[in-house]
Structure 1
Amino acid sequence: MTTDINTVLVTGATGNTGSRIVPRLAALGHTVRAASRRATEQDGAQAVRFDWYDSATHAPALLGSDRLYLVPPIGEPDPAAVMVPFLNQARTAGVRRVVLLSSSAIPAGGPGVGQVHEALPGLFDEWAVLQPSWFMQNFTDSHMHAATIRDADVIMTATDEGRVGFIDADDIAAVAVHALTGATAPNTGLVLTGPQALSYADIAATVSRITGRTVRHEPLTYEEMRDRLAAAGIPKEFAELLAGLDRAVAEGAEDRVTGTVAAITGRPPRSFRAFAEEHLG
């Protein structure tokens, strides 16, 4: 870690990763501007209002910041349309380093945030793109999987027997802090996984052992998953994208683990069993 004191603007500061990044940066002595639509107060940070779709909030949020943690607008099928103009504004305002949250399922130049990933190296000399696998918090927070586990002892996906290297958001946050504050920027995409690739049936079995309940995985077709997401209020185009990601998992696209978390943070990523024992036990 560098000992220089930086001012870091954290967008999505109340989200899964942002809420974990803010206190870590503050504990290291950095000035943190915690950006969210409601300017929610957080210990050790300056709360600022930020809304992707309200350009009047952009310049005040950027004020004095030289580093930026960037979370795409949720549910937006074309995030580059709002994010790239903001990144140009950030560069003009004095931001030197940007760390973007993307996904292991989306390559540079791919759909959605993949377009922002592709644009980033041409805008900043110091950058990183975090490409985490699926979050472990999907089974404990306000995600659809957590709700169906709680209400019906079931996990429904279109992933069949495909496996995923599920990762704890705490590990993503730890990597993000290193990428934001290290003496040199990674200047690359960083695929982040936990220590094991697990199927949703494996997840259900682990949850069952820890909770004492019988939780099962119910496989759906792509169409069933798409329609279920749309019925839950997710826009049609985004529901199709999410169901398509499930289908890619079924085809083996996420059946991998990487050593990136350990290489950057100096410690191994948390296992799903350890995560579940803490949050579900």
Structure 2
Amino acid sequence: MTAIGSTTLVLAGTGKTGRRVVAGLEARDVPVRVGSRRADPPFDWEDESTWEPALRGVDAAYAAYYPDAAFPGAARDVGAFAEVAVRCGVRHLVLLADRGSAEAERCEQAVRDSGAEWTVVRVGFITQNFSEAFLADLVRAGTIALPAGDVAEPFTDAEDIADVAVAALTEGGHAGQVHEITGPRLLTFADAVGELSEATGREIRYFPVTREQFLSSLIGRGVSAEYATRLADLMVEVFDGRRAHVTDTVERVLGRPPRDFAEYARDTAATGVWGRPPLSPPAKPDVFGKPEHRSTVPT
């Protein structure tokens, strides 16, 4: 638990979960330092010289690794960061980790070995990936193609993740705990995309593809080959059924049920982030999940 009046560093503080953690801490009048490349002082996971200045005077830290705690090399960086944090006087580390990923498990162990008090917030597929990350453009295009087959996933809302992290940073009883967070029910990606269609009033379709097709699609959309390969490998690793169960963590920690995917879809559609319904249905995708060109001018 963060001491009254002490500063908490929130890494990836402008990202999906980080900015919500910042807002939650500020709502509790906790002094916050946002960890990002554009902050003052800046923080960059790829530049160790930025770590110590960002950690000076900090009592606790929310450690969200960029680009992902499941990517190769994450455990090495997280372990090194934890060592610097302890040396700078940080007492409590709250780590954002991926459910079912071998590399994320190594990140968890590195934090446990650091000597600081620790809490792990373990999550799966974050619901806001459909609106705040790489899937948003695909939702707008009307076609989502992923190497996830028909595996069920308990889509986890970023609001729930942030609220649990804020509780761990500001309340007692969370040190040494692994908080594995899920949504309230299992959905396949086809189920989830169907609910997006209903919420938006548009036809949005899901197509399961192979790892190779997904990789080609990402690179074709301008994603670097290195990042695309890591993302494709991660999806193949975790979407094998290992995460197809729900937990009661949100209700146990926060005293309320987790946010349901349908509520997210409805509320997000109302913001207009996915655009207005198209004038014609989306085109049939090619094998890489990219729609063929079709005019949207009505006939």
Using the size of structure 2 for normalisation, the TM-score is 0.83
Name the residue aligned to 1:144: 134
What is the deviation of 1:223? Answer: 1.9
What is the deviation of 1:249? Answer: 5.3
Name the residue aligned to 2:78: 83
SS state of the match for residue 24, structure 2? Answer: helix
Q: Which amino acid aligns with 1:21?
A: V
| Aligned equivalents of 1:20, 1:261: Cα separation in 2 | 16
Name the residue aligned to 1:51: 44
Q: Which amino acid aligns with 1:49?
A: P
Please say if residues 3 and 59 of structure 2, whose CA atoms lie closer than 8 Å, have aligned partners that are also in contact. Answer: no
Q: Indicate whether 1:121 and 2:116 are aligned.
A: no
Q: Indicate whether 1:25 and 2:14 are aligned.
A: no
Q: Which amino acid aligns with 1:66?
A: D
Please say if residues 100 and 117 of structure 1, whose CA atoms lie closer than 8 Å, have aligned partners that are also in contact. Answer: yes
What is the deviation of 1:243? Answer: 2.4
Name the residue aligned to 1:67: 60
SS state of the match for residue 180, structure 2? Answer: strand
Please say if residues 204 and 215 of structure 1, whose CA atoms lie closer than 8 Å, have aligned partners that are also in contact. Answer: yes
| Coordinate RMSD, CA, aligned | 2.0
Bigger Rg, which one: 2
CA gap of 1:229–1:114, structure 2 versus 1, over 3 A, is farther
1:218-269 Cα distance to aligned partner (Å, 9 max, x none): 1101221233234445454553443234334553122111111111111111
Q: Structure 1 regions of 5+ residues with no counterpart?
A: 40-46
What is the deviation of 1:196? Answer: 1.0
Using the size of structure 1 for normalisation, the TM-score is 0.88
Name the residue aligned to 2:88: 93
Further displaced range: 82-91 or 239-248: 239-248
Please say if residues 2 and 59 of structure 2, whose CA atoms lie closer than 8 Å, have aligned partners that are also in contact. Answer: no
Please say if residues 11 and 71 of structure 1, whose CA atoms lie closer than 8 Å, have aligned partners that are also in contact. Answer: yes
| Aligned equivalents of 1:115, 1:236: Cα separation in 2 | 24
Identity of aligned residues (%): 36
| Aligned equivalents of 1:2, 1:65: Cα separation in 2 | 10
1:197-226 Cα distance to aligned partner (Å, 9 max, x none): 111111111111111111111110122123
| Aligned equivalents of 1:48, 1:243: Cα separation in 2 | 33
Q: Indicate whether 1:219 and 2:208 are aligned.
A: yes
Match of 2:122 among 131, 146, 151: 131
Please say if residues 90 and 116 of structure 2, whose CA atoms lie closer than 8 Å, have aligned partners that are also in contact. Answer: no
CA gap of 1:35–1:246, structure 2 versus 1, over 3 A, is closer
Q: Indicate whether 1:6 and 2:6 are aligned.
A: yes
Please say if residues 249 and 255 of structure 1, whose CA atoms lie closer than 8 Å, have aligned partners that are also in contact. Answer: no
CA gap of 1:115–1:63, structure 2 versus 1, over 3 A, is same
What is the deviation of 1:57? Answer: 1.7
Match of 2:243 among 236, 254, 265: 254
CA gap of 1:30–1:196, structure 2 versus 1, over 3 A, is same
CA gap of 1:2–1:208, structure 2 versus 1, over 3 A, is same
Q: Structure 2 regions of 5+ residues with no counterpart?
A: 271-299
CA gap of 1:55–1:251, structure 2 versus 1, over 3 A, is closer
Residues 160-199 of structure 1: pairs in structure 2 closer than 5 A: 160-199=149-188
SS state of the match for residue 113, structure 2? Answer: helix
Q: Which amino acid aligns with 2:189?
A: Y
Please say if residues 157 and 183 of structure 2, whose CA atoms lie closer than 8 Å, have aligned partners that are also in contact. Answer: yes
Q: Which amino acid aligns with 2:5?
A: I
Q: Which amino acid aligns with 1:136?
A: T
| Aligned equivalents of 1:208, 1:30: Cα separation in 2 | 39
1:18-48 Cα distance to aligned partner (Å, 9 max, x none): 1011121122121111111001xxxxxxx53
SS state of the match for residue 136, structure 1? Answer: coil
| Aligned equivalents of 1:34, 1:88: Cα separation in 2 | 20
